[in-house]
Chains A and B, each alone.
Chain A
Amino acid sequence: DARVTQTPRHKVTEMGQEVTMRCQPILGHNTVFWYRQTMMQGLELLAYFRNRAPLDDSGMPKDRFSAEMPDATLATLKIQPSEPRDSAVYFCASGLGLSQSNQPQHFGDGTRLSIL
């Protein structure tokens, strides 16, 4: 089965360091989503792309977070500088947008990020 691949699976780093999380969407999917999961807030949408163009990043703290999609096979989420409150599980999901509006999003296994 095709899967969304996220790396790394786990990341522990010190406050102030740059963190880069990567996502390989399912081949042929044209929408990519980044979510953050915490105990307090649950699953929150941070940003999403369609055909590599950012459509909505209103859920993302702009001062330290950035999301890009340099090509159709790679999406990245960066945090610089990282803070302890950024500790969470970050999920990437991909799907077929617009015309395939009933298609669910397929999730990766997430990156568990711990900022010390």
Chain B
Amino acid sequence: AQTVTQSQPEMSVQEAETVTLSCTYDTSENNYYLFWYKQPPSRQMILVIRQEAYKQQNATENRFSVNFQKAAKSFSLKISDSQLGDTAMYFCALMWKPLQGAQKLVFGQGTRLTINP
């Protein structure tokens, strides 16, 4: 079974600081993808960043970057120069394709991040 674990239920930092959110996962699949989704109070699920497991290079999207450690099955998200608008729940997610059917996505429990002014 595929599982995703986020061990930090809540985090809080000051604006402009850098923050790292942790995520570990477990899968027996060889081909899979990892995502970070952001859910602000508006409840939208917004894709932040994605990583293909076969790629060694860590993905980067502006202020967001990941530290992907495949052997350790770790996929942390780093937010640099944090902004008030980054306040949200952040979900780590694992996607794979079963033999039958379409890609499936499993989520971690989420980390509530608060950026303080």
Contact = CB atoms under 8 A, between A and B. Distances in A.
Interface residues of A, number: 24
A102 to B, nearest CB: 6
Contact of B107 (A43, A48, A102): A43
A107 B44 contact: yes
Interface in A43-69: 43, 45, 48, 50, 55-56
Interface stretch (B11-19, B79-87, B98-106): B98-106
Interface in B102-117: 102-110
Nearest to A95: B103
Interface in A26-43: 31, 33, 42-43
A55 B42 contact: no
Contacts of B47: 104, 106
Given A42-B107, A42-B108, A56 B101 contact: yes
B68 to A, nearest CB: 14
Contacts of A55: 100-102
Contacts of B25: none
Nearest to B43: A110
Interface in B23-50: 31, 33, 35, 37, 42-47, 50
A55 B101 CA distance: 6
Contacts of B33: 101-102, 104
A33 B105 contact: yes
A89 B37 CA distance: 16
Contact of B50 (A89, A104, A110): A104
24 contacts: A31-B103, A42-B107, A42-B110, A45-B106, A50-B101, A56-B104, A91-B45, A93-B45, A93-B105, A95-B102, A97-B102, A97-B103, A98-B97, A101-B31, A102-B50, A104-B35, A104-B47, A104-B95, A105-B103, A105-B105, A106-B47, A107-B45, A109-B43, A110-B45
